[in-house]
Amino acid sequence: LDMEVTQKPSRPHWYERHVQPCLAELLGTALFTFMGCLAVLQDSEGTGRLQPALAHGLALGVTVAVLGDI
């Protein structure tokens, strides 16, 4: 007799379910706020709305690349 034993998938740890997403959200929000403020403060003439938009897009790209697996 060859009996296969199936194991139930283990539930993720409370840290992975609650703390990691909250830390990722906090880090993303802080990065967006920081990048947005710097983009407005360092606004050079003639860029208008383009510079803050590009800064937020770059911050979003970096955040997704770094924290995408959470």
The pLDDT-based confidence of 58 (bands split at 50, 70, 90) is confident
Q: Count the helices and strands in the chain (H runs, E runs).
A: 3, 0
Task: Determine which helix (DSSP H) or strand (DSSP E) holds 24, and give its type and residue range.
Answer: helix 20-41
Residue type, 41: L
The rounded distance, in Å, linking the Cα atoms of 13 and 16 is: 5
Is the pTM higher than 0.85?
no
15 pLDDT more than 60:
yes
CA 20 to chain centre: 11
**What angle is formed at CA 33 by the lines to CA 25 and CA 56, rounded to 5 degrees?**
90
